[in-house]
Structures are given as structure tokens and as C-alpha cells.
Amino acid sequence: MSTPESQGPRQPREGIYSSSRVERSITVIAIAIASIGLGYLFFTQLWWKAPPDFDCPKDYAFSHAGENGELVRTSGLCRWIGVEAYYSDKPRSLLKANIVGSKPGSEIKVPIGSLQRANGAFINNFVEPNIRWFGYVIWASEAFIFLSMCLGFFSRLGALVAIGMSTQLTIGLAGIPKPVEWEWSYLLMVLLSIAMFGLAPGRYFGLDRLLRPRLKLLSERGSRLSRLLVAFT
């Protein structure tokens, strides 16, 4: 009867762990491209709402419903926050699939009306009254995602922030009719952010590869902060 020792070292399971240097290189390159791509997406969104005024009107007026009920748009961050508030009471569905072309409507869909209303209440009661400082929170969060994903720096934390940002944008904007916002442009952001959270790309490239051994050493010595920071890399 053979023992585990006599059977030799166990080999990694094919398909879960890379079995060759070429496969490992492909994995690292693919993760790096996806991570940097997600970071660059948020980088491109920093400049149309840059501080200190976030390109809002001087009076920080938000997009709103006009006299005829049509959407009146302003500018900058105030424009899009107002757009989210405007559509928060107009129920929408996501994940729509029109399977039978001759039949009107979608056979598959997920209503998000309750989430829209909650998002609208948050915008109306908190974001809009505090936009002069909360705009910095929004801008800094997206800047952190960019740095985290592109540098592999606290990459799991960066991906978690990206999940939060992209999910909020999905609830507020995905599938609205005017201006038309394709729902999958937002859903794909959510899915890519989730993938990056699971993979923790900084463990494959970037600064986390240098940080993790040091944080683990401090954690083993009893540092609770280091134990928490390890989970974010």
C-alpha cells in the first residue's frame, strides 16, 4: 500500500494553477492588461470633473426636470448627479434579453426600482447638499482606483472601491433613455471590478508583490493593522 510520501509531490491541478512558465506568463500578462485597463478607464474620467469646482456651474446647479418635465442638464459632476436623481423615480430593469423578436418587451429582466429610489434618496438628501466637499470624495476614490489598478498597489482594496463605484453608477445610469446609456457598459465595469477583486492583481505584478512579504512578517509579529492591510493587497 503506497503512502502519500511514496507517491511524490502532488502536482497542481491543470486549469486552476498554471503548469508551465508560458502559462504563468500568459496569466500574469492577461491580469496586468485587465487591471491597467480598468485603472485607465477611471483615469479618463478624472478630468471632466476635476476639483475644485468639478466643472459644475458657479451656483452648483444640478440637472433637473424643467417645466415640461423634460431633463434640463447642467455641467460637470453636477450634470450627472442630477441625471441620476432625475431618473431615480422612473423604474428601469437590467439584464434585459429580448428573445422573441416579434414579441414586444423583454422575456428576461431584473427590475431595480427599489434600488433606484434608495440611490435617489441618497443623492437628494446627502450628495447634493454636500457636493462642495463630497465631490472630492468621488474624485479621490476614482483617482485611487486608477493608481491601485495600474500600480498593483493595495489592489484588492482598489478593486473593492471600483465595485462600489461601478455598482452605484449602474443603479443610477445604466439603461437610461436620454442620454442613452448602454446598460452593459456599466455592468461590464462591475464584472471586471469583481474579477480584479478575486484575482488581487497586485499579487501578480506591481507594488503589492513587495508589500505583502513585509506586511505578513509584521502580522506574524502581532500587528493587527498589518493583518488588515495584507487582506487589501
* pLDDT mean by block of 10 residues, the chain; 233 residues: 53 60 91 98 98 97 94 97 97 91 83 97 98 98 98 98 98 94 97 98 95 92 90 94
Q: In which element (H, E) is residue 97 found?
A: strand 93-97
pLDDT of residue 23: 87
Residue 211 lies in a domain: no
- The pLDDT value given to residue 107: 87
* Cβ count near 120 (within 10 Å): 19
Give yes or no for a contact between 144 and 161, defined as CB atoms under 8 angstroms apart: yes
Tell me if 126 is assigned to some domain. Answer: yes
Confidence at residue 13, expressed as pLDDT on a 0 to 100 scale: 54
Residue 98 and residue 105 in contact, taking contact as beta carbons nearer than 8 Å? yes
Overall number of domains in the chain: 1
HSE-CB for 102 with a 13 A CA cutoff: 0
Domain assignment of residue 6, yes or no:
no
What predicted TM-score, i.e. pTM, was given to this entire model? Answer: 0.90
Q: Does 214 map to a domain?
A: no
In a domain, 221, yes or no: no
Residue 151 structural domain: 22-96+108-205
* Position 122 in a domain: yes
Task: List, in sequence order, the alpha helices (H) in 6-73.
Answer: 21-44
